[in-house]
Structure 1
Amino acid sequence: MSLFDLLLNLMLGVALGTVGGLFGIGGGLIAIPVLGVMFGLDQQLAQGTALVMVVPNVMLAIWRYHQRNRIDLRHALLLGVTSFLCAWLASLYAVGLDARTMRLAFVCFLLALAAYNLLRMLMQQALPTGELRYPWGWFGALGGVAGGMGGLFGVGGAVVATPVLTSVFGTTQVVAQGLSLSLALPSTAVTLFTYSMHQHVNWWLGVPLAVGGLLSISWGVRLAHSLPERLLRSLFCGFLLVCALLLALEL
């Protein structure tokens, strides 16, 4: 890898880390289509390489969110344990799938997620409060579903958990993003391990992205706490549509 390529990857990591901190997703969701479009990686290799950046970014983002809005350890542990188990099983299944089929499934996943977020914005909802609408034990089920999606698509499950936490459980957007990161850490770690064992990781590309992301993710977290709730959700929805479009162009 040349010095120019190294600097380019570092700058790309900076941009992806900022987006990851803003939306509480570790940057992987945007990194996957970027790696597929710009670097021509197949779906599994793009997902595995993106996870090299996502895991340390998620660790730092959790700390930053916890500093600004303390994460309930009981909730985070339940989400983390169930997401870990389901992500491991889903990642074992994902590494054996056809790359084109995986990419098509990922595009459909993003479109469904964007449609769900758009529907939530258009519907009148109760204002978020500090009290959960349902018992915290239901976080176990949420962690399992989100972890399974994360293990399958290499995105940590935060993009699934965040809208559910706000719309179903009634948390604020920043609280949901903090809890989703707690869910994402164990699921992304075990998914990265599984993809690595099956040679679906480009470490030379992933490590510079990770370093760049660590340098910038705190900016995204700070920006997330300064934006109005509705604007943050609108940006998240638009972000999902852009990602889906980029990947669809590669089908």
Structure 2
Amino acid sequence: MIEMLMHLLLGAAMGTLGGLFGIGGGLVAIPALGVLFGLDQQLAQGTALLMVLPNVLLALWRYNQRNRISVRNAMMLIVPSFIASWLTSLWAVRVDPQSMRIGFVGFLVVLTLFNLIQMFWRKGGAGPELRHGRWLCLLGLGSGVTAGLFGVGGGVIATPILTGVFGATQVAAQGLALALAAPSTAITLTTYAVHDHVNWAMGIPLAIGGLASISWGVALAHSLPERMLRSLFCVFLVLCAVLLLFRL
């Protein structure tokens, strides 16, 4: 009972951070599960996916009620992402956990640098039509690869690229990123579960806690300046990378 309560509270904390940084909680959960509970990399990723999926589906449903998502643009992202995440996850569940953790640390470092560049990158004006729309499939492909490998993609990668490169408004980018993330998260979770890389007893309470708290993080995010949020996110990524390095 005490262990379940601890998982609920941890899920609530990760849900809040996920809402704050707009990442669904997966990028928060994976290092926490690896460092605090000693889960190997694949088990941490699979368990985190169990927490993330209901958050993504709920957010996508609510978002589409207020801001209709372009079906055409969404499908250009979803189809390659779904295929790439499925194929990549089939390979990822067989990789040595230590090598996978090293790869995840490298991913965090690259993601930190990417977000730092985004902070100082002068973006073009956003509009109703996407620039370079025919290249959306490449973004879906790249997001699918990271989703299959590391259990994170979608909003972490797609949203800043959609706003910075494709000229999407923040509202449109977030909706498309959610549409992109939902199918790839589902198929990746299925693959990890089939290969016994999901701790259900831990993941279900984490998911419940995350669902209950993610709105708090979203509310906090809307009260902070965007540059401060990006700075906090970069600090958070570096901290996660350092903590994981001590587990190698």
Fold equivalence (TM over 0.5): yes
User: 1:114: how far off?
Assistant: 0.7
- Residue 143 of structure 1 corresponds to which residue in structure 2? 140
Alpha-carbon offset, residue 68 of structure 1: 4.8
What is aligned with 2:30?
32
Check conservation: 1:64, 1:221, Cα contact below 8 A: no
2:106 aligns with 108
Residue 75 (structure 1) shift: 1.9
Q: Distance in 1 between matches of 2:220 and 2:70?
A: 22
Residues 179 and 32 (structure 1), Cα distance of their counterparts in 2 relative to 1, 3 Å cut: same
Aligned amino acid, residue 118 of structure 2: R
Alpha-carbon RMSD: 1.9
Distance in 1, matches of 2:89 and 2:204, equals 21
State the Cα deviation string for residues 86-123 of structure 1 (Å, max 9, x = none): 00000001011000100000000110011011022123
In the superposition, relative to structure 1, how do residues 60 and 43 fare at CA in structure 2: closer, same or farther (>3 Å)? Answer: same
Q: Which residue of 2 aligns with 1:86?
A: 84
2:190 matched residue in structure 1: 193
Identity %: 62
TM normalised by structure 2 equals 0.92
Residue 46 in structure 1 maps to residue 47 in structure 2: no
33-42 or 162-171, larger mean C-alpha shift: 162-171
Q: Which residue of 2 aligns with 1:22?
A: 20
**What residue identity is the alignment partner of 1:76?**
A
Distance 1:76-1:20 versus aligned 2 partners, 3 A rule: farther
The whole-number CA distance in structure 1 between the counterparts of 2:236 and 2:173 is 17
Distance 2:86 2:145 in 1: 8
Q: 1:61-76 to 2 correspondence within 5 Å?
A: 61-76=59-74
Is 1:240–2:237 an aligned residue pair?
yes
**What is the distance in 2 between the residues matched to 1:245 and 1:65?**
34
Bigger shift: residues 169-178 or 55-64: 169-178
> Structure 1 CA distance, aligned partners of 2:11 and 2:190?
21
Q: Is the 8 A contact 1:24 1:61 kept in 2?
A: no
Counterpart for residue 220 of structure 1: 217
Q: Which runs of 4+ in 1 moved over 4 A?
A: none
Report deviation, 1:127: 4.3
Aligned residues: 248
Shift of 1:229: 3.2
Q: What SS class does the counterpart of residue 112 from structure 2 fall into?
A: helix
Deviation readout 1:72-91 (Å, 9 max, x if unpaired): 23222321222111000000
